[in-house]
Structure formats: C-alpha cells, structure tokens
Structure 1
Amino acid sequence: MKPFLSILCAFCISALSLAQNTINLPFDKSPGVTWESEEKNYFSEIWQNQVVTNVSVPTMEIFKPEKPNGTSVIIAPGGGLYALSIKSEGTDVAKWLNEKGITAFVLKYRLVPTGEDGVAEISEEGSTNPQRIMERVRPVLPFSISDGLSAVSYVRSNAKGLGLNPEKIGFMGFSAGGAVTMGVTFNCTEENRPNFIVPVYPWMTVIPKYEVPEDAPPMLIICATDDPLGLAKDSANLYMAWLNENYSVGLHMYAKGGHGFGMKKQGLASDNWIAQFHSWALSQGLTFPVGGM
C-alpha cells in the first residue's frame, strides 16, 4: 500500500506543478534595497487601471493559447518602477497574443519599495520632486533587469516542456518595462538573449549611455509623438542606433496616443499597435498564423 500511496502522491504533485500558472523566478538578494510592505494588487483610481506594487520576489504568470505556434513573448508592464500596470500592459496583452497562438508570460519584476499606494507616491513626486523618482529607481533597476534576464533563461531552458521554440522568444516592455527590455538586451548572454524585442514607449533616460550589442535582436519600437513624458525623441534615437548598425528594426510613431495607452481604446490609430506588431512578427518569421508552423 505504501508504494502505491507514494506513487499517487508523486503523481499529484507533478500534476499540480504542470497546472501551475505562476512561475517563481530565481533571483539574487537585493543589497541596499528593503521592502517593508507586502506585494499589493489593487485598482488605482489615479491611473484607472489594476496595478501591482511592492514586488520584492520576481514571478511570471503564463498564459497558454489553445493552439500554440511555438512563439513566446515575455511581457514587462510599465509603471515607473513604482507599480505595474498589470492589466492594460500585462494580462490584456497576453490574452490578445494567445488569440494569435503566442504563449505569453506576464513578468512581475522587482519594484521600488513603496507604502500603501505606490501610484499616489510616484504621482506626488512627479509633480513636486521628479529627481526623487530617479534617486529611488536607480538602485532597483539593476534587479529589475536581472529579473528580466532570469525570465528569458527560464523560458529557454523549459522551452521543450512548454512546447515552445527556444529561438522564438520575444521580450515586450512598456515604459519602465521598456527600460527593462533594453536593459535585458544590453546585458544578455547567449543563454538569456531574447530573439526579438518590442519596447513600447520605452523610458530610456534611466538607461546609461548604451552601445548597440553585437548580434542585436530584431526590434520594433512603439511610441506616440505627443507622449507627455517626452519619450518620442529617445525612441527615435533608439531606432537610429539600430539602423546605423544595419540591424533589423521597425518603428511605429503615432501622431497621437499619449503615454501608457497599452491595450486601452482611445479611438486613435495607436489603438492598433498590437495588430501591427503581429504583422511585423509574421513578416519577420518570428511567429506563424494560428494553425501554421
């Protein structure tokens, strides 16, 4: 009886592991950064969106399509590194990609330690003391980037078991998540190099002076000219950096869209950015139509 119970127990544990949607990523300790509050998931009246704050332990939530085509995308939501706009720049993106056969991973990377309402904190500091934001972000960003690198390593090392192509792993990040995307690109090795990247209105002023890496991955940049944070110029410069080195790069710069549009509908051309990403990915051979390989 005991051997039977042991086998049954092992089977149940294995089945639970396979069914689990949240992946705990390995990470090193964060010297100099202390989180006193627990991770929090709530609706922000300020941003009118579901957000996550106080992430101290990196995780990913996996979204699997009914008909996977082997392509995967790691999604890094934005939020100034004080929060994650987890719905419009995370789960809603993942669900749209699933409809196209793409497996999605929504990454919760480490954030600036905040109090009860991280969105309120960054909003207040943004209007009264913007320099304070940079002071709080700088020591945390390297850990956020490390979490992004761990995410790519996880997907690549587990690609076979997940039914994924280890050479079709994308990284898409929004605003601060765009900074994580580019930090991953500038600091990756062969093991954790994404095969394509999609920085969406990336926050480049927090990234130190950069050089385009050798064998830089194909990149599609998304931004709006009227971004109130002034991110359009940096997006254009990023495009030119890739172009000057003759690497594959595309740019969709919308006249209107503002900042943080994600999957929100504004009745503007920028509403279609994700469909244009998909068209780009198809044309690059980075993904396939549903049912095709």
Structure 2
Amino acid sequence: MKKNKNLKNHLTIVILIVTLKITGPIYAQDKIIPLWITPIPNAINNAEYTEKEVLKDGIVTSVSHVSVPTLSIFTPHETKSNGTAILIFPGGGYSHLSIDKEGTKVAKWLNTLGITAFVIKYRLPSDLIMKDKTIGPLQDAQEAMRFIRKNASQWDLDSTKIGIIGFSAGGHLASTLSTHYNDIVYKTDYSISARPSFSILIYPVISMTKEVVHKGSQTNLLGTNPSLELINKFSNEKTVTSDTPTAFLVHATDDTVVPSENSINYYLALKKNKIPAELHLYEKGGHGFGLGVKDTSQFWTRDCLEWLKANGYL
C-alpha cells in the first residue's frame, strides 16, 4: 500500500508539471517524474540558480545548472519488455549533461532490446546549491536506484536486473554508485538497496589521481585544491571490493580527454577482487562517441548486446 501511495504521489506531481508546462520540450519518453518527493537533501535554496538548456533543431541536447533532478522513463513499445532496466547517467564533465546523445538516444536504443530505460537529470556539483557538492550527484544516483527497485513491479521489472550505464563524467557517477552504494549520504526510510545489478561504463572518468584525471571533472566535483583523502575516496578504482557489481567497459585508445587508463585500472581492480568484467579497448574513437559514429568504437553496442545476453539480462 505504501509503495502505491509513493508512486501515486510521483504521478500526481508529474501531472502538475505537465499542466504547468515547466518541464520544457518533451522527448519521446513515456513520462518525466521528479526524483525527490521529499525535500531535496543537501540543498541550498538559490532563486538565481536557474536551469539552462541548449537546443538544436528543437531538441534539448545539453542541460546545465540542474537544481531539481528528474527521471525520464522510456518503456519498450515495439519490443516486449524483458524485465531488465538500466539507469542512464549522461556525461558532461560535471558541468553540463549531454542529455540527448548520452541520454535520450541511449534510452531508445535500449528499448529496442526490450530494456526499460531511465534517464536521470542529476544535480551537477555546485557550492551555490549544495552544502556539500561532492555528494550531491551520488545522493541523486542512490535515490534513483532505490526508487526504480522499490517500484519495479509497476514496470514488470526484475529487481535483480536493474543496472546502470554512464558516459564520461556520468561514468564516474555510475562507478561511484557501484562502489559507494552503501555510503549514507542522506536520510531515507527506504530499506531498498542502491546497489546496481551491473554497470556499463563508456569512456568513463574513474580516477581523480593526477596521473590520469580529467581535470575539469575533478575541479567541478572536488574543488580546486582537494585533499588527498577526497581524491582517494572518489578514485573509484581504489574503492572496488568483492561486492562491486560486474562491469562492461568501453574506451578508445586515442582518447586524449579521458585517458583509457581510467577503464584499464578499474578493470584491473575488478579482476583483483574476482569480479566478472569485460573491457573493450578500441584503437580509434576519441572521446564522446556516444552510441558510436565512426572508427572501431562504433561497434561497442554490438559487443555490449552480446555481453548482456551472456549474462542473462536479455
């Protein structure tokens, strides 16, 4: 009964949002719901901090200054749902979200596989709206995973088959959720685990160490002069344990923005802890290739599909 009440509250707010037309352009998803029905944790009210969108041909391609996180829900229509769900974390260096290329388009591809997809528009770390910006994105990630799992029956999902996919800095957030899902970063009455069933990490930022760090992501999340303790905490190759979810990783060797060592080091940490993992290093592709547009990296979706099959998620 409580589960239905919570979902009803979400849907009520959705109706109000659509009625008041405050969501901006609508994509092809089934619905957009606010992530938090309780007060957003760790938040600082700042009326001058307003969300900004970049549009191209009438499509929202990028979002920044996010202070009210949402979930966009995409359910398979042409293909029968297979019970698997994936929560999508778009990248953007923790400064913006590449919401179309690494969000909406990915969700539509997953729908063709029978997978229910959720695109999270998560809060980007900012001292202007957060008491502690280092945990803001993780708070949203944990809540999104708990909400999907808690309400799995509403979409005919198998609660043991709810995974995540993250691109670039979204890959850092995905790997942070994979290794910090038990961190207590906000109060919740949920007894539901925030642990992903599996992770798919595409040209991810993993480490905050100076040797391989994407400096923009580090500065935006941890500040200009982070302590060694903070750097180590959010260098996720250092926080892998035997309970970390299995992973499928993709990187291009010629990525000059986020070095491929990020994926390599995370893979080695998984291997050391005897966690099943698959790593694909492509010769060419650079950074930010999304679903793949050219060079050898364009085939990663085919490899990912086979991995999902082999692990029983399709």
In the superposition, the TM-score normalised over structure 1's length comes to: 0.77
2:33 to 15, 23, 35: 23
Answering whether residue 300 of structure 2 is matched by residue 273 of structure 1, we say yes
Amino acid at match of 1:140: K
2:253 corresponds in structure 1 to 225
Answering whether residue 100 of structure 2 is matched by residue 87 of structure 1, we say yes
2:72 corresponds in structure 1 to 61
CA RMSD after TM alignment: 3.1
1:123 corresponds in structure 2 to none
Change (3 A) 1:52 1:230: closer
2:162 corresponds in structure 1 to 169
**Equivalent pair of 1:218/1:249 in contact (CA under 8 Å):** yes
Answering whether residue 112 of structure 2 is matched by residue 99 of structure 1, we say yes
* Percentage identity across paired residues of the two chains: 36
2:55 corresponds in structure 1 to 43
Change (3 A) 1:101 1:199: same
Q: CA deviation at 1:15?
A: 11
1:111 corresponds in structure 2 to 124
2:84 corresponds in structure 1 to 71
Task: Give unpaired runs (5+ residues) of structure 2.
Answer: 1-10, 17-28, 183-191, 209-217, 219-233
Answering whether residue 152 of structure 2 is matched by residue 159 of structure 1, we say yes
2:197 corresponds in structure 1 to 195
**Equivalent pair of 1:58/1:107 in contact (CA under 8 Å):** yes
Alignment of 1:223-262 (within 5 A): 223-262=251-290
Q: Within 1, Cα distance between the matches of 2:91 and 2:127?
A: 16
Q: Within 2, Cα distance between the matches of 1:150 and 1:28?
A: 10
Q: CA deviation at 1:253?
A: 0.8
- The structure 1 segments of at least 4 consecutive aligned residues displaced by more than 6 Å after TM superposition are 12-15
Q: CA deviation at 1:188?
A: 1.1
Change (3 A) 1:237 1:57: same
**Equivalent pair of 2:13/2:34 in contact (CA under 8 Å):** no
Q: Within 2, Cα distance between the matches of 1:168 and 1:41?
A: 32
Q: CA deviation at 1:53?
A: 0.9
In the superposition, the TM-score normalised over structure 2's length comes to: 0.73
Q: CA deviation at 1:29?
A: 3.2
Amino acid at match of 1:181: A
Change (3 A) 1:68 1:150: same
Amino acid at match of 2:149: R
**Equivalent pair of 2:42/2:132 in contact (CA under 8 Å):** no
SS at match of 1:84: coil
1:291 corresponds in structure 2 to none
- Farther-moved stretch of structure 1 (104-113 vs 201-210): 201-210
Q: Within 1, Cα distance between the matches of 2:121 and 2:172?
A: 14
Larger RCO (CA within 8 A; separation ≥ 6): 1
Change (3 A) 1:114 1:99: farther
Q: Within 1, Cα distance between the matches of 2:127 and 2:56?
A: 14
1:215 corresponds in structure 2 to 243
Q: Say how many residue pairs are matched.
A: 252
